[in-house]
């Protein structure tokens, strides 16, 4: 069982997760001209908090995650809510291709877990329809204290470097702004802030 499998059942109990998803959803809708005919993919959907805030804005949203337990929680929420346009999919896009095309791909707090950023951006570009949109919400550079010792992913992102990487993969019209601040009390008792950016782009 993976780390996220273990966290899935209690994920929604943390109010910060809901607050962050709500803030990102609001800013996504301000930044992207969404309409009800669009299809979307949430990459690394977790328990689906972000897509549930966005469900009424799209024709269909595919919620992709590589954690079986996260997908199980999403499926239960969809069933209980009688939601028709959210489609959970257990899939690891880093290791396997995925059939389909989308008008919009978005993710929150997922990129710092992705090993091959170039690889995933190429796959996003392939999955997007011409003129489609991409949105990435993740951490600005941090000192490693967000996850602590043993974390092997990215310690946030330099947004200028990430912008250049998106351009190298054919994305244009790239904009970035701070969309949320995560506040945590560290083991030493000090409170630390971790700002989150929202980067949007066009194919």
Q: N- to C-terminal Cα distance for the chain?
A: 36
Strands 172-185 and 191-202: antiparallel
For residue 7, the model assigns a pLDDT of 63
Residue 29, C-beta contacts closer than 8 angstroms, at least 6 positions apart: 54, 57
For residue 169, the model assigns a pLDDT of 97
For residue 13, the model assigns a pLDDT of 81
Asked if the model's pLDDT at residue 137 lies above 60, the reply is: yes
pLDDT tens digits, residue range 20-43? 999 999 999 999 999 999 999 999
For residue 189, the model assigns a pLDDT of 78
Q: How many Cα atoms sit within 13 Å of 161 on the Cβ side?
A: 7
Number of domains composing the chain: 1
pLDDT tens digits, residue range 48-70? 999 999 999 999 999 999 999 99
Q: What are phi and psi of 27, to 5 degrees?
A: -75, -30
Give the CATH number for residue 179.
Answer: 3.40.50.150
pLDDT classification of 187: cutoffs 50, 70, 90: confident
Q: What are phi and psi of 87, to 5 degrees?
A: -120, 100
pLDDT tens digits, residue range 66-105? 999 999 999 999 999 999 999 999 999 999 999 999 999 9
Distances (CA, A) of 18 to 40, 43, 44, 120: 20, 17, 16, 26
Q: Residue 193: name the closest of 161, 159, 153, 156 by CA.
A: 156
Asked if the model's pLDDT at residue 6 lies above 80, the reply is: no
Place of tokens 């802030």: 193
Q: Containing domain of residue 197, as a range?
A: 3-31+39-202
């Amino acid at each position: 069982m993976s780390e996220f499998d273990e966290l899935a059942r209690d994920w929604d109990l943390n109010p910060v997760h809901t607050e962050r998803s709500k803030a990102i959803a609001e800013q996504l809708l301000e930044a992207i001209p969404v309409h009800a005919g669009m299809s979307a993919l949430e990459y690394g959907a977790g328990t689906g908090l972000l897509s549930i805030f966005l469900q009424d804005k799209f024709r269909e949203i595919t919620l992709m995650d590589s954690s079986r337990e996260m997908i199980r929680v999403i499926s239960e929420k969809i069933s209980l809510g009688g939601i028709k346009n959210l489609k959970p999919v257990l899939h690891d896009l880093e290791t396997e291709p995925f059939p389909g095309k989308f008008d919009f791909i978005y993710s929150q707090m997922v990129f710092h877990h992705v090993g091959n950023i170039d690889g995933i951006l190429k796959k996003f570009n392939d999955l997007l329809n011409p003129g489609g949109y991409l949105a990435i919400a993740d951490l600005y550079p941090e000192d490693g204290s967000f996850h602590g010792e043993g974390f092997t992913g990215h310690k946030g992102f330099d947004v200028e470097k990430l912008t250049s990487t998106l351009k190298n993969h054919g994305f244009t019209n790239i904009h970035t702004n701070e969309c949320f601040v995560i506040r945590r009390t560290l083991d030493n008792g000090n409170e630390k802030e971790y700002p989150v950016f929202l980067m949007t782009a066009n194919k």
